[in-house]
Each structure stands twice: as C-alpha cells, then as structure tokens.
Amino acid sequence: MEIEKEHIHHQIENAKKGKQGAFSFLLDTFWNEVYGFQLKRVRDEYEAEDITIETFSKAFDGIDSFDRKQAAFGTWLVAISKNIQIDKSRRKNASLYRNTTNTSDELVQRLADVSPTPEDKLITEQNLAELLRYIKQLKPQYQEIINLRYFREMSYNEIAINLDEPLNNVKVRLLRARKLLSEIITQNR
C-alpha cells in the first residue's frame, strides 16, 4: 500500500512538472472516486460527469498548491468537487431569479500537449467506418469533442470557444474521451 502511495506522489510531482502522462495517470486513478462521489450527491449522470471534469480541470490548474501533508490527493479532489457542486447549485438557484451567465473567469494554465499519443495514432490508422462505429458507443459529449478535435481538426482553443467551456475542461474531457475510446477499441480487438 505504501508503494502505491509513493507512486501516486511521484505522479503528482511529475504533474507539477507538466508531464502529460502524470495527468493521465491521476485522471485514471481518481476518476471513479470523484465521479462516484458526485453521482451520489447530484443523482444525475451527466451533471456528475460535468462536475468531475471541472474538478480535474481545476485540480490540474492548481496542482502546484497541493500539499500531501495537508490531505490525501483523493480527499483534495473530492473537496474541490464538493465546492464546485455547491457553487453550481447556488448559481442554478440564483439564475432562477436573474439572468446570469455561467462563464468562468479562471486563469487557465497550460497542460502539456504531447502529440501524437497511441490513441492519436490509432485514430489515424483505423478503418474510418469501424472507428465511427466505436465513436458512436461514446456518450454524446465525448462524440462531439472527438469530432471537433480529430475530424474537424480544431485546436483546443477553438474547441473551447465552440463549446463555450474553459480550456482545461476541454483538455480533460478530450483526455477522458480518448481513454474511453481506447477501451472500446481494445475490447473489440
């Protein structure tokens, strides 16, 4: 168990250095914990997924502020997730009384964009009809972001503008979409 904790801390340190593989590891390791927590709170699959994506986006933005002496990484993520959900609930309630925008003013730090990933290579090498069949197995928001990035060849910034989402949310959602697509392809091989 201690080795696993040390491996996680090593990956956190790598993420602080901007290494994309570390971000992927942390997303894969803690996704279910954060998503499950939110699903119990909001009882809506799509809302829980959106909050989870926003949680990782915010956590990756502020990864330098994480201090393992204060909390475990999973606990830190759940706390961020809880605060995001509370803020969303407040905004939702406030918007009933006045017309507000849900635009985020966060400053977005850059996540390393390592190209091409094995998923990227697979996307370009796959038979298009087969690939489209796999993509259709994804949830609509993941289908959309895969389409924008790989078929319409939009940059992260263009996708963020198109979806009216913060840049880091786009990066996390695309990371998750590629992982899910990779799992579907692997299962069907």
Q: What pLDDT sits at residue 97?
A: 59
- Alpha-carbon radius of gyration of the chain: 17
Catalogue all structural domains in the chain, each as residue range(s) with its CATH number.
2-95 (1.10.1740.10), 118-187 (1.10.10.10)
Which residues of the chain carry a pLDDT beneath 50?
Answer: 1, 100-114, 126
Q: What pLDDT sits at residue 185?
A: 85
Do 177 and 117 contact (CB within 8 A), yes or no?
no
Q: What pLDDT sits at residue 139?
A: 92
Do 12 and 161 contact (CB within 8 A), yes or no?
no
